[in-house]
Chain A
């Protein structure tokens, strides 16, 4: 029964994804800058490393019977979505098309060549931009893993992730970053993915956590991280990779990249420090888990603002990020009793929303003349535009994720059975153990 549903689903996907391929556009020939190209390629590699980094960050937080399942989910996203991206994901996101979705003329990277495509970046080969963006498309769905950790069937995960990337990430990326995207036209500012990446994944995480239900043990006892040092390693790799994520989004080795680099680092540091202090005050001791959670919250929050704000704004953005995210994971989650297991919504969702709004407050043309001023620099309209971007992204992610979840649940069943959940996903989904006992 489930198999026949799967076949129906596959056929539907193939049918919907075979579209027309238009003739390749020939971009205007401009001069490639070797420094810019080197930096963007390096940044793409840095962002790539964030997905394995996230795997360790999340993996350390689960029980050891589910450790490999997290690593595997992250790693398979890296593989599967990279293929999706070059086949049609990039085209759906970035090819000139409608205001709500990209065209199909770049399917299979047709026409995406080694000369610059000026509307995105005049100084680097088009393919460099494409592969840099590929890494964003990979890590965004991977962020959602934190919500349904320790209880999702691997087959369902794979199908859900591919559908989500195609029907949620790709359109939203187009709205904000693609040529002709309606939020981009409206003037929404999202430097490196506060809305596209963090709000999008964070809201999807909330929907998934509520729909898949709590882990069996959630009401009985807390689930201690099986290896915090792994999470610290992961957080370190994420922080490192974030320089590619944000400073790389300048798409050149220039002053803007340096600004993004500096404010990213500053916001991450401010938020890590803040969370540690909050922990100290409310929980009696500064915790390692709190400190890395703060760092990630700060880094996620500065993401949309990195190319538009200065360093003092970044400190404020980071401090508030930790306060808000701490409140979300410590109070909101427990009040409403949803099992967002690794706080994908609490950190990325909340952080992304605050960051995108903060961009509308603190953005300054003195930092980036190509941007706009925010409320505090005399342009209240920008805050409204940012609010619109938040609402549109969150609303669409909410509805679309709900529908996709229902479809995958109907096709293959999302959740593992109770026994498999108790035994652990490593053994039941992958036939492997993360650790041996005797040798």
Chain B
């Protein structure tokens, strides 16, 4: 089991969700986060005062999958979020030790899908 965390641009969320559904990955947790990578934020103007280096709004997607689903999940996220420009985001994949479905108390692979 793996936990896939992706950080993407907010306006790519719709497309990423669509690609994930197409790849039959239907379980997803989404949160709004702040951060920046190499592009170091946009410039904003407040009453004529330019500010750079702000933290940018990003979307964090978390998906727990069985090993056989890892590649197709990654591909779907990339397909939905890639523009080729800086700021497209990152995907992190880590081992997942345990997963418990609260309703049934099932554990492991059973509980994920």
Task: Fill in one digit per residue for B33-76: 1 if any A CB lies within 8 Å of its CB, else 0.
Answer: 01000000011111000000001010000000000000000000
Neighbouring A residues of B32 by C-beta, 8 Å: 437
In the complex, what's the smallest C-beta–C-beta distance from B15 to chain A, in angstroms?
9
Neighbouring A residues of B34 by C-beta, 8 Å: 437-438
In the complex, what's the smallest C-beta–C-beta distance from A436 to chain B, in angstroms?
9
What total of chain A residues lie within 8 Å of the partner, measured CB to CB?
13
CB closest residue in chain A, given B57: A437
Interface membership of A217, Cβ < 8 A: yes
Interface membership of B14, Cβ < 8 A: yes
Interface membership of B22, Cβ < 8 A: no
Contact of B14 with A220 in the complex, beta carbons under 8 Å? yes
CB closest residue in chain A, given B18: A220
Interface membership of A222, Cβ < 8 A: no
- Checking A422, A432, A433, A437 against B11 with a beta-carbon cut-off of 8 angstroms, the contacting residue is A422
Q: How far is the CA of A432 from the CA of B42 in the complex (A)?
A: 10
CB closest residue in chain A, given B13: A422
In the complex, what's the smallest C-beta–C-beta distance from A366 to chain B, in angstroms?
56
Q: How far is the CA of A29 from the CA of B45 in the complex (A)?
A: 52
Interface membership of A431, Cβ < 8 A: yes
Q: A437-B32, A437-B57 are in contact. Are A432 and B14 (CB under 8 A)?
A: no
Interface membership of A289, Cβ < 8 A: no
Task: Fill in one digit per residue for B1-33: 1 if any A CB lies within 8 Å of its CB, else 0.
Answer: 000000001111010000000000000000010
Interface membership of A403, Cβ < 8 A: no
CB closest residue in chain A, given B51: A431
| Chain A interface mostly | loop
Q: A437-B32, A437-B34, A438-B34 are in contact. Are A423 and B11 (CB under 8 A)?
A: yes
In the complex, what's the smallest C-beta–C-beta distance from B65 to chain A, in angstroms?
25
Neighbouring B residues of A422 by C-beta, 8 Å: 11-12
Interface membership of A202, Cβ < 8 A: no
Neighbouring A residues of B42 by C-beta, 8 Å: 427
Neighbouring B residues of A180 by C-beta, 8 Å: none
CB closest residue in chain B, given A432: B44
In the complex, what's the smallest C-beta–C-beta distance from A136 to chain B, in angstroms?
31
CB closest residue in chain A, given B85: A419
Q: A423-B11, A437-B34 are in contact. Are A432 and B45 (CB under 8 A)?
A: yes
Contact of A431 with B43 in the complex, beta carbons under 8 Å? yes
Neighbouring B residues of A146 by C-beta, 8 Å: none
- Checking B9, B45, B57 against A431 with a beta-carbon cut-off of 8 angstroms, the contacting residue is B45
Neighbouring B residues of A220 by C-beta, 8 Å: 14
Neighbouring A residues of B57 by C-beta, 8 Å: 433, 437
In the complex, what's the smallest C-beta–C-beta distance from A423 to chain B, in angstroms?
5
Q: How far is the CA of A285 from the CA of B55 in the complex (A)?
A: 41
Neighbouring B residues of A423 by C-beta, 8 Å: 9-11
Contact of A217 with B14 in the complex, beta carbons under 8 Å? yes
Q: A437-B32, A438-B34 are in contact. Are A431 and B14 (CB under 8 A)?
A: no
In the complex, what's the smallest C-beta–C-beta distance from A62 to chain B, in angstroms?
15
Within 8 A of B (CB), among A253-276: none
Q: How far is the CA of A424 from the CA of B57 in the complex (A)?
A: 12
Q: How far is the CA of A217 from the CA of B15 in the complex (A)?
A: 11
Neighbouring B residues of A433 by C-beta, 8 Å: 44, 57
Neighbouring A residues of B46 by C-beta, 8 Å: 432
Neighbouring A residues of B55 by C-beta, 8 Å: 438
Neighbouring A residues of B44 by C-beta, 8 Å: 431-433
Q: How far is the CA of A65 from the CA of B42 in the complex (A)?
A: 15
Task: Fill in one digit per residue for A411-430: 1 if any B CB lies within 8 Å of its CB, else 0.
Answer: 00000000100111001000
Within 8 A of B (CB), among A38-91: 65
Contact of B11 with A424 in the complex, beta carbons under 8 Å? yes
CB closest residue in chain A, given B50: A431
In the complex, what's the smallest C-beta–C-beta distance from A68 to chain B, in angstroms?
12
Q: How far is the CA of A424 from the CA of B11 in the complex (A)?
A: 8
In the complex, what's the smallest C-beta–C-beta distance from A400 to chain B, in angstroms?
35
Neighbouring A residues of B12 by C-beta, 8 Å: 422
**10 interchain residue pairs of minimum CB distance:** A422-B11, A431-B45, A423-B11, A431-B44, A437-B34, A438-B34, A432-B44, A437-B32, A437-B57, A217-B14
24 A/B residue pairs, CB under 8 Å, sorted by A: A65-B10, A65-B11, A217-B14, A220-B14, A419-B11, A422-B11, A422-B12, A423-B9, A423-B10, A423-B11, A424-B11, A427-B42, A431-B43, A431-B44, A431-B45, A432-B44, A432-B46, A433-B44, A433-B57, A437-B32, A437-B34, A437-B57, A438-B34, A438-B55
- Besides the contacts A431-B44, A437-B57, what 13 more A-B pairs have beta carbons closer than 8 Å? A217-B14, A220-B14, A422-B11, A422-B12, A423-B9, A423-B11, A431-B45, A432-B45, A432-B46, A433-B44, A433-B57, A437-B34, A438-B34
